[in-house]
Structure 1
Amino acid sequence: MSEPGSPVDRPARNGNWEELSRTTVYEAYGRSVVEAEYRLPSGAVDVFSIRQDRSSVAVLALTVTGEVLVTRQFRPGPGRLVHELPGGYIEDGETPAAAAERELLEETGYAGDLEVVGSCFADSYSSAVRFCAVSRNCTREQSPRPDSTEFMEVSEVSLPELRRLLRSGDVTDVDLAYIGLDALGLL
């Protein structure tokens, strides 16, 4: 039980945020960072760095035998090889479902019965929305055709192995994988 007046008991003061200015401080590769100055509900003024990125999609793809498709590639942020769900950026004019189908086929060579099942923000200092799609009954349709900057391995893993990977800290799409597992009733 919390103490009276503790942050848990006080109502959130989310209203009355006033944006005072916004300046782009970095822009390259389809990404930008802006500094936004706000007057807070308390009256104080603070500056926040906000990443503006394109929306993206990741696919929890299950083969006809129930294996999950994952990719593994080097990522500059962590500076090492990591596992990921197949996916990528949503192009201008493209729906999340179309992007998911395209990315799954390009990165793995597989296609299946696909639907978008959820979304979340990349984080609280980003404007990017990340969509989760699930694809059932995936079969190999072609050889993978990744972009020229993608050098990845594609693997089929069991559900227990996927859960182990998700807990290992070696996966970038943990939140989206759990959204997909939940949508499929596999948690």
Structure 2
Amino acid sequence: MTEPWPDQSPSGGSEGWEELSRTTVYAAYGRSVVEARYRLPSGEQATFSLREDRPSVAVLAFTTAGEILVTRQFRPGPGQFLFELPGGYVDANETPLNAAERELLEETGYGGDIEVVGHCFADAYSSSMKFCAIGRACAPRSRPDPEGTEFIEVLSVRPQLLRELLRAGNFTDVDLAYMGLDALGLL
């Protein structure tokens, strides 16, 4: 890994950036869009549209047979079926670990030894944090119990097929899947 540039702060920060205002322009379903106005290091001012969502979690879950659980469901944003890792939002007063266990059970009916192994931001224009969990020795525990708007197909795939799905471009949790594979030493 290369060293940070001299003017970079490895811990983050806002050196030279001053937030001047923040206005919520849309809020519903735990999501909001805000417009944030900043004074830039150059002295200029700029407004950015930012997305703020609740934190989320996805689980790279290995079954007792060594396969990985993936879900397939229609997603209205792109208007097509996408593959995903089981997961969802972290509810208020819930830890990412508890959310990972709950979401895995709700969406797939599986449970196992779950561990949160990392996190990242959703994107550069979002304050939302995405957590990666891995699951070992996952086995059926109950019938899936998805939310009323979720129509989920649960699949189990070999690690090589997961890598092919990740490269194909119709998988939503690519960053978290690779984070989980890396945590397990499978890259």
Q: Which structure has the larger Rg over C-alpha atoms?
A: 1
Residue by residue, what CA displacement relative to the aligned partner does 1:116-141 show, whole Å, maximum 9, x if unpaired?
Answer: 00000000100100000000000011
Please give the alpha-carbon distance, in whole angstroms, between the structure 2 residues aligned to 1:142 and 1:181: 26
Structure 1 segments, 4+ long, off by >2 Å, are: 8-14
| Aligned-residue RMSD, C-alpha | 1.5
Please give the alpha-carbon distance, in whole angstroms, between the structure 2 residues aligned to 1:146 and 1:103: 9
- 1:104-183 pair list within 5 angstroms: 104-183=104-183
Please give the alpha-carbon distance, in whole angstroms, between the structure 2 residues aligned to 1:159 and 1:123: 26
One-letter amino acid matched to 2:20:
L
Match for residue 3 of structure 1? none
* CA displacement at 1:162 relative to structure 2: 0.2
Gaps of 5+ in 1: 1-7
SS in 1 for 2:179: helix
Residue by residue, what CA displacement relative to the aligned partner does 1:5-58 show, whole Å, maximum 9, x if unpaired?
Answer: xxx978459611011111111111111100000000000000001101000000
Please give the alpha-carbon distance, in whole angstroms, between the structure 2 residues aligned to 1:12 and 1:98: 35
- 1:66-77 pair list within 5 angstroms: 66-77=66-77
Gaps of 5+ in 2: none
- 1:1-187 pair list within 5 angstroms: 11=7, 15-187=15-187
> How many aligned residue pairs are there?
180
Residue by residue, what CA displacement relative to the aligned partner does 1:108-160 show, whole Å, maximum 9, x if unpaired?
Answer: 00001010000000001001000000000000111111011100100000000
TM-score, normalised to structure 2's length? 0.93
Please give the alpha-carbon distance, in whole angstroms, between the structure 2 residues aligned to 1:49 and 1:178: 28
Percent identity, aligned pairs only, is 66
Please give the alpha-carbon distance, in whole angstroms, between the structure 2 residues aligned to 1:134 and 1:12: 32
Please give the alpha-carbon distance, in whole angstroms, between the structure 2 residues aligned to 1:88 and 1:156: 19
Residue by residue, what CA displacement relative to the aligned partner does 1:59-90 show, whole Å, maximum 9, x if unpaired?
Answer: 00000111000000011111100000000000
TM-score, normalised to structure 1's length? 0.93
